[in-house]
Chains A and B, each alone.
Chain A
Amino acid sequence: MLALSIFPLVFSLGLTFTNVNLFRRVPLRFVGLENWARIFSDEALLETLVNTAIFVGGGVAIQYTLGLALAVALNQGLRGQRLMRVLFLLPMMVSPIAVGFIIGRMVFSEGFGPINDMLGALGLPAVAWVTSPAVAKWTIILVDTWQWTPLMMLLILVGLQGIPGEPMQAARVDGASEWQIFRHIVFPLLLPVSITAILIRALEAFKIIDIIRVVTGGGPGRATESVTAYVYNVGAKQGDLAYAASAAYVLLFVVIGVSFLALYVMRRVQARYE
């Protein structure tokens, strides 16, 4: 575990102080803080950071809300509940490559996709799913949400199984409404699981790249390019491994900072209920 985690970290950090390039055959040289100086004047990196923040903030919030609602709905003993649980889990099991191509590219296609076709049949205007910079961001979030809401549902379902039944029965006897029971008993007890689910999802969403590369290619312009996609382009396409590693480190710092802050805030919320 230590070897798996420390070596890549040190290796990448080392790269940031060099001029290693995949394509240009230049003698290996230590350039000190040159890459890091470049970071601060890199407007493209800033734009991709903002995009990433939108994907993480928007996507994870929607996925958590929907996942929570689904988990609660599928934990009430409705008929067919067990089958529905498995069926609703399916999207997260579909390969992201297929999700990107078949759903992102075909279903949302502006030329031959069924969504615009159905909107047209209803008399509604076609939506520029991938050609409008503002809408394209939402297309990415929608596809990401389709795939990953089931994970939220799964983790919250797991948490729901561990909640003791007695307080709920007592509240029901006292005449509390279902909403009050959820709001004051179930939701607070789900907070630890919610923190884990949100953190897991957010950490993956920060690294979002597959869907973007397939569905929009980062465009139009740079409107949907994430930091990871930027790192990939700089490293693998332009071959500038040293600068790519530096940009990756910027993302790492941001993620660590945001995670610390988010955990702190969520623990404060949790403490209010204890």
Chain B
Amino acid sequence: MKGRVITRAFLVAAAFVTFFPLYWILITSFKTQLDIVVNPTYLPWVDFMPTLEGWRWLLTEARADVIRAITNSLIVSGGSAVIATMLGAAAGYGLTRFQYRWRFWRNEDIAFWFISQRMLPPVAIVLAFLLMFRHLSLLDTQVGLTIAYTGFAIPFTVWIMRDAFAQVPLELEESAGVDGASAAGIFFRISLPLALPGVVGSMLFAFVFAWNEYLFALMLTFQEATTVPLLLASRITSFGTHWDQLSALTLTNLIPAAILGIMLERFLIRNRTEGSLK
């Protein structure tokens, strides 16, 4: 009983801290510049008059740009999330089910090598990507950006999927093998469905990572393949920040990712292996 109360109190506090900034973004999208920079204003119609100026900009002047940026973002983020999760699942499965040996390299070292790919600061490698992509004519293409983001996400998806497969009981796979299932059959019919929560984590992580990545999008795209973060950054100019437009665009940018979250959340359920081992 006491535990329940503590849990509730914690969730309420966490909810306030989580949602207040989101509420702030929401109301900022309806404010005039004056309502923003003079004094904080909290409630529409009470201490400020809401205006649709930011949203009008989004749906008229900027409409073509917004649609193109969101399309690009969806293709690049969706593509890299799916590819990185598939490759991550393959590598993660291999790392939990087989022992590799190459010179002094063991599974642990291979896993560390994967994650070590994320250790160099991005500012240090973006120039190398620029040169490489120019040579391969991948600059300002959706394919190029998808390749880059897939490469960045793989180290993490490998680790997430490795943990997910490690939690799938070996006995289940073995008994399926005894019953005559092929290796591919075991992977697709037993291991992967049981590791579905891991797929959710991996997909969401890779998607969100690509969805909001800024530096590489800035360096590797100019016009055709530009993504939403670049459009967001364009609202911040040396003459001042268009707060209402920035907020409206931020919320618009949040919607597709939130929809993906809602779609994937249903798979975040305990896998039903209880009793299957008897």
- The residues of A with any CB-CB pair to B shorter than 8 Å are 1, 3-5, 7-9, 11-12, 66, 69-70, 73-74, 76, 78, 82, 84-99, 101-103, 106-107, 112-114, 117, 146, 151, 154-155, 157-166, 178-179, 192-193, 196, 199-200, 203-204, 206-207, 209-210, 227-228, 231-232, 235-236, 241, 244-245, 248-249, 251-252, 255-256, 259-260, 263
Interface residue? B103 (CB, 8 A): no
A138 to chain B, nearest CB (A): 14
Asked whether, in the complex, the Cβ of A193 is within 8 Å of the Cβ of B14, the reply is no
User: Which of B58-66, B177-185, B200-208 lies at the interface with chain A?
Assistant: B200-208
Asked whether, in the complex, the Cβ of A92 is within 8 Å of the Cβ of B208, the reply is yes
In the complex, given contacts A117-B40, A200-B156, what are 20 additional A-B residue pairs having Cβ atoms less than 8 angstroms apart?
A9-B120, A9-B125, A11-B131, A88-B18, A91-B18, A91-B21, A94-B253, A98-B253, A102-B28, A102-B246, A107-B21, A114-B42, A155-B160, A157-B201, A199-B115, A207-B122, A228-B121, A248-B124, A252-B124, A256-B119
B72 to chain A, nearest CB (A): 14
Contact residues of B between 117 and 144, Cβ < 8 Å to A: 117-125, 127-129, 131-132
In the bound complex, how far is the Cα of B189 from the Cα of A119, in angstroms?
56
**B140-163 interface mask toward A, CB cutoff 8 Å, 1 = contact, 0 = none?**
000000011001001010011011
Asked whether, in the complex, the Cβ of A8 is within 8 Å of the Cβ of B7, the reply is no
B105 to chain A, nearest CB (A): 15
Q: Is the interface of B mostly helix, strand, loop or mixed?
A: helix
In the bound complex, how far is the Cα of B116 from the Cα of A88, in angstroms?
29
Asked whether, in the complex, the Cβ of B128 is within 8 Å of the Cβ of A207, the reply is no
Of the residues B14, B19, B169, contact of A70 by C-beta under 8 Å: B14
Asked whether, in the complex, the Cβ of B214 is within 8 Å of the Cβ of A97, the reply is yes
A239 to chain B, nearest CB (A): 12
The list of the 4 closest CB pairs from A to B, nearest first, reads A162-B167, A248-B124, A8-B125, A8-B128
Interface residue? B94 (CB, 8 A): no
In the bound complex, how far is the Cα of B264 from the Cα of A86, in angstroms?
9
20 A–B contacts, CB within 8 A, in A order:
A11-B125, A11-B128, A70-B14, A73-B7, A94-B254, A96-B212, A97-B229, A103-B21, A107-B21, A114-B40, A154-B205, A158-B160, A158-B163, A162-B194, A162-B197, A165-B274, A178-B3, A196-B163, A200-B115, A203-B118
Asked whether, in the complex, the Cβ of A8 is within 8 Å of the Cβ of B258, the reply is no
B211 to chain A, nearest CB (A): 7
In the bound complex, how far is the Cα of B278 from the Cα of A166, in angstroms?
12
When distances are taken between beta carbons in the complex, the residues of chain B under 8 Å from A151 are 205
Known pairs A11-B131, A73-B10, A162-B271; A4 contacts B148 (CB<8 A) = yes
- The residues of B with any CB-CB pair to A shorter than 8 Å are 3, 7, 10-11, 14-15, 17-22, 24-25, 28, 36-40, 42, 112, 115-125, 127-129, 131-132, 147-148, 151, 154, 156, 159-160, 162-164, 166-169, 194-195, 197-198, 200-201, 204-205, 208, 211-212, 214, 228-229, 232-233, 236, 241, 243, 246-247, 250, 253-254, 257-258, 261-262, 265-266, 268-271, 273-274
In the bound complex, how far is the Cα of B161 from the Cα of A200, in angstroms?
13
When distances are taken between beta carbons in the complex, the residues of chain A under 8 Å from B147 are 4
When distances are taken between beta carbons in the complex, the residues of chain A under 8 Å from B164 are 158, 162
B201 to chain A, nearest CB (A): 4
Asked whether, in the complex, the Cβ of B229 is within 8 Å of the Cβ of A95, the reply is yes
When distances are taken between beta carbons in the complex, the residues of chain A under 8 Å from B123 are 209, 228, 231-232, 235-236, 244, 248
Asked whether, in the complex, the Cβ of B24 is within 8 Å of the Cβ of A102, the reply is yes
A192 to chain B, nearest CB (A): 5
Known pairs A95-B232, A163-B167; A256 contacts B116 (CB<8 A) = yes
When distances are taken between beta carbons in the complex, the residues of chain B under 8 Å from A245 are 124
Known pairs A98-B247, A252-B120; A91 contacts B166 (CB<8 A) = no
Closest to B3 in A: A178
When distances are taken between beta carbons in the complex, the residues of chain A under 8 Å from B20 are 107, 114
Known pairs A93-B258, A94-B25; A259 contacts B119 (CB<8 A) = yes
In the bound complex, how far is the Cα of B128 from the Cα of A4, in angstroms?
9
Of the residues A102, A157, A200, contact of B243 by C-beta under 8 Å: A102
Q: Which of A114, A209, A260 has the most CB of B within 10 A?
A: A114
Q: Which of A4, A12, A78 has the most CB of B within 10 A?
A: A4
Asked whether, in the complex, the Cβ of B11 is within 8 Å of the Cβ of A8, the reply is no
In the bound complex, how far is the Cα of B123 from the Cα of A178, in angstroms?
47
Asked whether, in the complex, the Cβ of B18 is within 8 Å of the Cβ of A102, the reply is no
In the bound complex, how far is the Cα of B83 from the Cα of A4, in angstroms?
15
In the bound complex, how far is the Cα of B148 from the Cα of A4, in angstroms?
8
Q: Which of B119, B156, B166, B273 has the most CB of A within 10 A?
A: B119
Of the residues B42, B116, B124, B232, contact of A98 by C-beta under 8 Å: B232
Q: Which of A66, A193, A209, A244 has the most CB of B within 10 A?
A: A193
